Amino acid sequence: MRSYLILSMCCLFLVQYFAGITWLGYVIVALAFLSFCASVANAGGFPRVIGLVMMGTGGAVEVSKGTGLEGISEGILLILPLLCLVTLAPLLSIPLKAGGYFESVDSLLKKLLHHPKQLFAGITSILFILSPILSLGSVRIVSEFLSELKLPARVSAKSYLVGFSTAVLWSPYFASVSLVLYYLGMPVGSYILYGIGLSCLSLFIGNILFMIWEKKHPLAEAAIPERPLEFKHRRQLLLLTIFVLLLLTASLLLEYVTKWSMIVIVSLISVFLPLLWGLVTNSWKNSFRSCAAFGINPYRR
């Protein structure tokens, strides 16, 4: 129920963005509040306390300012673009998972296991490709692949930091970039080249620093035998790279042509691309399974 409330809130926000219906804004705020209550009820321990404290503090501030419910509603509407981006962007993992791309990523990392420098470069490069569209979900995916390889914790932490932090600098699919540009009213196209350049420089320096660190702390070879990377996996990795490039290109073109907010464009792509994937490939069953992993059970009545 919680997932459906959140998705309904996001979809209605997208409708409100184009329609500009005043009363619909109040409906969205009500859905946002219900989603918050459902999430708090489902959470436990520290996250629940933090959520309640932050929501209570925000409400108290608005009441002290004299704005009351109107101010609280405006505050919720103000952060809805970020909520939509964080909620809908992970849906892009559905076609990637259903298409078997993650299996190819797993095979690549296992092949590089005997070569620490290449493995580190492989992990950071995979995160460099996946993080711009999957955000923190990319770390979770790569972590699942690496769990059976039993890498030293320091190596995993360094690779996650170097690979994931690059997306923070440039990706329009990443909340920090999109939200800042959204409120500044700056087109992503005018910023992205600087962001990508800084990200590539960060990735390069991170790998150089790891090489220096690895010389002082040599890693022992793993017991898993090295296996050649099959042609189908090389092909899938190439297609994965093309997929990400096409997504980013489509987002920039849509922003240039329509002048819509990049957050809205990313949210629309995140909703319609998995639907289009299921329609073209006729792989609805695999897509539904991925939805269930996302927290939505389409078989539930």
DSSP string computed for 224-291: SPP-PPPHHHHHHHHHHHHHHHHHHHHHHHHHHHH---HHHHHHHHHHHHHHHHHHHHT-HHHHHHHH
Q: How confident is the model over 7-28, as a mean pLDDT?
A: 86
Is 269 found in the same domain as 228? yes
Residue 106 confidence (pLDDT) above 90: no
Residue 176 lies in a domain: yes
Is 19 found in the same domain as 134? no
Structure tokens at 59: 């409400």
Is 245 found in the same domain as 125? yes
Residue 43 confidence (pLDDT) above 70: yes
Is 180 found in the same domain as 112? yes
Residue from 142, 123, 146, 135 nearest 203 by CA = 123
Residue 299 lies in a domain: no
Token pair 């409330």: residue: 5
117-129: pLDDT as tens digits: 888 888 888 888 8
Structure tokens at 190: 């005018």
138-149: pLDDT as tens digits: 776 777 677 666
Is 123 found in the same domain as 63? no
Q: How confident is the model over 147-174, as a mean pLDDT?
A: 79
Structure tokens at 159: 């690779």
Burial class (CB in 10 A: 0-12, 13-18, 19+), 31: buried
User: Of 105-119, 150-164, 172-186, 220-234, which gets the smallest average pLDDT?
Assistant: 220-234
Q: How confident is the model over 5-21, as a mean pLDDT?
A: 86
Residue 286 lies in a domain: yes
Confidence at residue 221, expressed as pLDDT on a 0 to 100 scale: 53
Q: How confident is the model at residue 254 (pLDDT cuts 50, 70, 90)?
A: confident
Domain end among 32, 52, 84: 84
Give the H or E element holding residue 8.
Answer: helix 2-19
DSSP 64-123: HHT-HHHHHHHHHHHHHHHHHHHHHGGGGHHHHHHTTHHHHHHHHHHHGGG-HHHHHHHH
Q: Which residue has the higher pLDDT, 121 or 180?
A: 121
Is 201 found in the same domain as 257? yes
Contacts with 136 (C-beta within 8 Å, 6 or more apart), sequence order: 164
Q: How confident is the model at residue 207 (pLDDT cuts 50, 70, 90)?
A: very high
Q: How confident is the model at residue 293 (pLDDT cuts 50, 70, 90)?
A: very low
- CA angle 122-101-251, nearest 5°? 90
Count up the domains in the chain and report the number.
Answer: 2
Q: How confident is the model over 210-223, as a mean pLDDT?
A: 74
Single-letter amino acid code for the residue at 207:
N
Residue 209 lies in a domain: yes
Q: DSSP label at 157? A: H
**Mean pLDDT computed over every residue of the chain:** 79
Is 67 found in the same domain as 181? no
Q: Which residue has the higher pLDDT, 41 or 209?
A: 209
Is 206 found in the same domain as 164? yes
Is 216 found in the same domain as 107? yes
Token pair 């690549």: residue: 108
Domain end among 84, 111, 146: 84
Task: State the greatest distance between any 2 C-alpha atoms of the chain, in Å, as a whole number.
Answer: 68
Is 274 found in the same domain as 179? yes
Distance CA 137, CA 298 (A): 21
266-292: pLDDT as tens digits: 888 888 888 888 787 776 555 555 554
Confidence at residue 219, expressed as pLDDT on a 0 to 100 scale: 66
Residue 54 lies in a domain: yes
52-94: pLDDT as tens digits: 888 888 888 888 888 778 888 888 887 787 778 777 877 877 8
Is 115 found in the same domain as 215? yes
Residue 301 lies in a domain: no
Token pair 């070879």: residue: 221
Domain end among 84, 119, 154: 84
CA 120 to chain CA mean position, Å:
21
Is 26 found in the same domain as 139? no
Residue 265 confidence (pLDDT) above 50: yes
Most confident of 66-70, 131-135, 212-216, 259-263: 212-216
Domain that holds residue 52: 2-84
- Asked if 108 and 147 count as a contact pair (C-beta separation under 8 A), the reply is no
Single-letter amino acid code for the residue at 146:
L
Which pTM does this prediction carry?
Answer: 0.69
Percent of the chain scoring above 90 in pLDDT: 3
Residue 300 lies in a domain: no
